[in-house]
């Protein structure tokens, strides 16, 4: 839409200006007998028009452009999350249902997908040219991107940020499948060999629940913990009261992916009001993939409506 509007405007002005230039060049060529008296020195109405009309056109382009931009950045509520971790030199992909893969990302046809991405070392960039999508993947931060696969097929996946000697080999395939095939694929064994029989593959949330115990989060956050720490049920998707930097005021922040992540890696940065800042940081303790699983677990016990 934006493309065609821009195209139409460009074509219109190219021809209008082009023809006018040629017309004047011929009419007022040296030696022609055209009337050159009464030349205008200024014309206020004309000048206002040639500022006003382009202003309206350009603001119009801005409006439709903004709309597309906003659509691009706000994923639909029902988008399936898929987690991506970039690492020198491979892409690690985890599906919430449990299956994980390397340098391949399987996608269901016709369902919006939201990638939640981070890097375990340097900056990478997740790039699938056929989808017109490219998003930087940064260490220590979550980035996301959504799209709607609308054609079955295999598409090239690249890393589009120079990230070391084997950067050029850091790539693979995005495979868009019919939803039924995709569901079958999801049930295959986690290491990629499709066995088809095992229902036992743990979902990311249940792996996360195990890690939640393994890292002794339960010691403080567990249901029957003596320790004064907030219960995490219903936290995700809501709002959390946080102590402001001045130590007096309370501000509310959205408990989204980023918040959960920061709470685990930088617990002192956002302390829940009414609690002591005693939670240890798990930076460099928990691996990125594990953290994503813990996040899925905390999401699974969060509010069901969800935030984006
Ligand atoms: C020593 C006790 C302790 C341990 C162990 C601990 N936490 Fe915490 N956690 C707290 C306390 C106290 C708070 C509230 C103060 C704050 O925000 O720092 C908190 C806050 C949080 C929050 C924000 C909760 C909210 O209501 O907004 C999350 C999420 C969280 N912890 C996750 C974890 C995870 C995941 C682990 C394990 C990897 C963990 N915690 C281990 C004590 C602990
Ligand atoms: Cu890379």
Residue 137 belongs to a domain with what CATH number? 2.60.40.420
**pLDDT (average), residues 172-182:** 92
Enclosing domain of residue 122? 80-186
Report the separation in Å between the CA atom of 178 and the middle of ligand 1, taken as the mean of its atom positions.
41
Dihedral sign for Cα atoms in the order 14, 17, 22, 25: negative
Mutational test site, ligand 1, from 209, 263, 296, max ligand atoms within 8 Å of CB: 263
CATH number of the domain to which 247 belongs: 1.10.760.10
Same domain assignment for residues 6 and 59: yes
Distance between Cα 86 and ligand 1 center (Å): 26
Same domain, 179 and 264: no
Instruction: For residue 6, tell me if it sits in a domain.
Output: yes
**Does the residue 135 lie in any domain?**
yes
pLDDT at 82 over 80: yes
C-alpha 61 – ligand 2 centre gap (Å):
35
Alpha-carbon distance of 56 to 54, in angstroms, equals 5
Residues 267 and 290 both lie in one domain: yes
Residue that wins the pLDDT comparison between 88 and 306: 88
Q: Note whether 87 and 178 are same-domain residues.
A: yes
Mean pLDDT, residues 19-23: 96
Identify whether residues 84 and 63 lie together within a single domain: no
Asked if 176 contacts 197 with a C-beta cutoff of 8 angstroms, the reply is: no
107 pLDDT higher than 80: yes
Same domain, 52 and 93: no
Looking at the fold, whether 1 and 66 belong to one and the same domain comes out as: yes
Structural domains in the chain (count): 3
Beta strands in 120-152 (DSSP E): 124-128, 133-137, 143-147
Same domain, 60 and 113: no
Structural domain includes residue 38: no
pLDDT band at 197 (very low <50, low <70, confident <90, very high): very low
Boundary-marking domain end, from 73, 89, 120: 73
Residue 200 lies in a domain: no
Taking the centre of ligand 1 as the mean of its atom positions, its distance from the CA of residue 208, in whole angstroms, is 15
Tell me, using a 6 A CB cutoff, whether residue 265 lines ligand 1.
no
Residue nearest to atom 21 of ligand 1 (CA): 263
Tell me, yes or no, whether 191 lies in a domain. no
Q: Is the pLDDT of residue 193 over 60?
A: no
Q: Is residue 123 part of a domain?
A: yes
CA of residue 201 to ligand 1 center, whole Å? 28
CB of 264 closer than 6 A to ligand 1?
Answer: yes
Q: Measuring from atom 29 of ligand 1, which residue has the nearest CA?
A: 260
The finding on whether 263 has its CB within 6 A of some atom of ligand 1 is yes
Buried b (16+ CB within 10 A) or exposed e, 159-198: bbbebeeebeebbbebbbbeeeebeebbbbebeeeeeeee
pLDDT the model gives residue 306 = 47
For residue 253, the CA-to-ligand 1 centroid distance in Å is 16
Residue 184 phi/psi, 5° resolution? Answer: -65, -45
Global pTM value: 0.78
At 199, the pLDDT band (50, 70, 90 cuts) reads low
Question: What are phi and psi for residue 126, nearest 5 degrees?
Answer: -90, 120
DSSP letters along 1-46, please?
Answer: -HHHHHHHHHHHHHHHHHHHHHHHHHHT-TT------S--S--HHH
The C-alpha atoms of residue 209 and residue 177 are separated, in whole angstroms, by 30
Mean pLDDT over 73-77 rounds to 87
Summarised one tens digit per residue, pLDDT across range 119-162 is 989 999 999 999 888 999 999 889 999 999 999 999 999 999 99
Task: Kindly indicate the confidence band of residue 11, based on its pLDDT and cuts at 50, 70 and 90.
Answer: very high
Q: What is the pLDDT of residue 189?
A: 53
169 lines ligand 1 (CB under 6 A): no
> 95 pLDDT exceeds 70?
yes
- For the chain, the average pLDDT equals 87
What distance in Å separates the CA atoms of residue 282 and residue 144, rounded to the nearest whole number?
A: 22
The finding on whether 252 has its CB within 6 A of some atom of ligand 1 is no
SS3 118: strand
Residue 236, domain member (yes or no): yes
Per-residue confidence band for 308, with pLDDT thresholds at 50, 70 and 90? very low
Residue 307 domain-assigned?
no
In this structure, are 54 and 102 located in the same domain?
A: no
Locate the ligand 1 atom nearest the alpha carbon of residue 211 and give its number.
38
220-245: average pLDDT = 84
Q: How far apart are CA 184 and CA 170, in angstroms?
A: 27
Question: What is the spatial distance between Cα 135 and Cα 57, in angstroms, rounded to a whole number?
Answer: 30
pLDDT band at 53 (very low <50, low <70, confident <90, very high): very high
- Out of 28, 53, 73, pick the residue that ends a domain: 73
For 274, the 3-state DSSP assignment is coil
For 149-158, 175-184, 218-227, which range has the lowest pLDDT when averaged over its residues?
A: 218-227
Once rounded to an integer, what is the mean pLDDT over residues 219-248?
A: 84
């Amino acid at each position: 839409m934006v493309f065609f509007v821009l195209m139409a405007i460009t074509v219109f002005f190219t021809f209008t200006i082009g023809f006018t230039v040629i017309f004047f060049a011929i009419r007022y060529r040296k030696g022609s007998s055209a009337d050159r008296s009464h030349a205008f020195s200024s014309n206020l109405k004309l000048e206002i028009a040639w500022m006003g009309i382009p202003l309206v056109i350009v603001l119009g382009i801005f409006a439709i452009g903004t709309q597309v931009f906003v659509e691009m950045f706000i994923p639909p509520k029902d988008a399936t999350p898929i987690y991506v971790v970039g690492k020198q030199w491979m892409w690690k992909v985890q599906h919430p249902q449990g299956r994980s893969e390397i340098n391949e990302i399987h996608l269901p046809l016709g369902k919006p997908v939201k990638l939640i991405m981070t890097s375990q070392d340097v900056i990478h960039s997740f790039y699938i040219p056929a989808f017109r999508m490219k998003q930087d993947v940064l260490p220590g931060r979550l980035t996301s991107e959504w799209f709607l696969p609308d054609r079955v097929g295999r598409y090239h996946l690249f890393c589009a940020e120079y990230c070391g000697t084997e950067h050029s080999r850091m790539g693979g395939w995005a495979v868009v499948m019919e939803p039924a095939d995709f569901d079958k694929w999801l049930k295959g064994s986690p290491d990629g060999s499709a066995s088809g029989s095992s229902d036992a593959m743990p979902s990311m949330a249940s792996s996360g629940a195990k890690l939640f115990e393994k890292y002794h989060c339960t010691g403080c956050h567990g249901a029957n913990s003596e320790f004064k720490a907030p219960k995490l049920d219903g936290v995700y998707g809501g709002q959390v009261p946080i102590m402001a930097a001045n130590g007096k005021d309370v501000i509310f922040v959205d408990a989204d992916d980023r918040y959960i992540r920061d709470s685990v890696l930088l617990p002192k940065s956002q302390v829940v009001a009414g609690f002591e800042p005693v939670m240890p940081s798990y930076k460099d303790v928990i691996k990125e993939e594990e953290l994503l699983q813990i996040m899925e677990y905390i999401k699974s016990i969060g509010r069901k409506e969800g935030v984006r």
